[in-house]
Structure 1
């Protein structure tokens, strides 16, 4: 399947996000979503604890691929962390994944000072926008996610799969930590799986 941004990818990449958690609700967290009109347009998915915040503010867990992350999130998952703000950073789409946009946002330039470039893997896509995305993530997206919430300023940031490369490429905000993560089934360096 081709879009204006190139090949969309395998069938799961086109799957609609059902986001059942928003219909089912959570006993421990208030759920909301909002669009942030920056860049291609992002959607923030938020799960904010219903309990009072601790004196130092709540820790926050940021997850990229927010559309897919919140599509799989359940009330039972949230109940395991009743004092944690969960913020999904997604795109303003009804799909689980906006592959053409994540290719742009999650890939580093070819070298220091280089900018956007054609993606050598997916014809018709643009890559190399990790520095631009980092500035959005640590600027207007974080500001929108944390607006009005008592957040622990030393809270860790967490990313998965492709964002691990993005985290290695980019810099962290003072007092903040980025924790890239790979699912256990993902290839390790050398291409082996555990």
Structure 2
């Protein structure tokens, strides 16, 4: 009888702890959600005057002897909360896995939108002259300069960072930008994570930059991923002209071919992974791509 009473009491305590608060006990006002271990800062690029919102999450655990690894994610307004959750998960398992959790840096734009369509097209695409006034497109070189010359020094001055373990993640136009950075500045990062890269841009112009990477003799680690459903007929009520345009912008064949080309090179043979993610379309595929990319990056030898 005593045993039953103790269990009944325990059940009542648990029920009270998990029951919704009554109206009279609710707080006076709702408060904004705070992302753990995260800060943000709006920064103006010195060379262009373009404004960026920089999100940073730093592990709570002490840095390794060489500093924290760093993961930079494009489309930071949307991608940063996901990436920093993955980083916190990695930190909670570090004693078991032995993997050091990263600093996560999200590069986004002022405002409440998850994706700034105009700004990302301006910053992530390449053009005939990337150093021209790239107000609408073709500004990848300007944006890469901002990351290398302004953002990285800003972060290194505040946090202990391992310069030998830095990764860049981007999706769609962001994936195109990741490939451009890989081909033209392969020492900028040690891991390049290209999710559904828009290789089709300007008749696959970015592939013309690949010989520069090969000639450099530098071989970073690379992940290229696409959704297995990306080249299926688009869902929704799109006009015929839009459907026809989308049919010319296939994603899978070019990504698969590029990954195979890199894997065939001796210097890249064990450094390139390619994923065709089952059941995934272009829009949401960046989520599993980032999950796999985080693991691929943290397992860097």
TM-score normalised by structure 2 residue count: 0.47
Structure 2: segments with no counterpart, 5+ residues: 1-31, 92-100, 196-224, 231-250, 257-275, 279-301
Give the alignment of 1:57-136 within 5 angstroms.
57-72=67-82, 75=85, 77-82=86-91, 83-110=101-128, 115-116=132-133, 126-136=136-146
Aligned counterpart, 1:44 = 54
Q: State how far apart, in whole Å, the 1-side matches of 2:163 and 2:84 are.
A: 27
Q: Which has the higher helix share?
A: 2
Structure 1: segments with no counterpart, 5+ residues: 1-21, 118-124
Give the alignment partner of residue 160 of structure 2, picking from 128, 136, 150: 150
Q: CA deviation at 1:178?
A: 4.7
Q: CA deviation at 1:176?
A: 3.1
Q: CA deviation at 1:110?
A: 2.6
Aligned counterpart, 2:209 = none
Q: State how far apart, in whole Å, the 2-side matches of 1:94 and 1:78 are.
A: 23
The number of residues matched between the two structures is: 161
Partners of 2:74 and 2:174 within 8 A in 1: yes
Partners of 1:43 and 1:89 within 8 A in 2: yes
Partners of 2:68 and 2:102 within 8 A in 1: yes
Residue 221 of structure 2 is aligned to residue 179 of structure 1:
no
Q: State how far apart, in whole Å, the 2-side matches of 1:173 and 1:191 are.
A: 19
RMSD: 2.8
Say if 1:191 and 1:96 are closer, same or farther in 2 by CA, change over 3 A.
same
Aligned counterpart, 1:32 = 39
Say if 1:168 and 1:25 are closer, same or farther in 2 by CA, change over 3 A.
closer
Deviations 1:111-162 (A, max 9, x none): 6x77356xxxxxxx71110111110111212223333100001113222222
Higher relative contact order (CA 8 A, sep 6+): 1
TM-score normalised by structure 1 residue count: 0.71
Say if 1:172 and 1:106 are closer, same or farther in 2 by CA, change over 3 A.
same
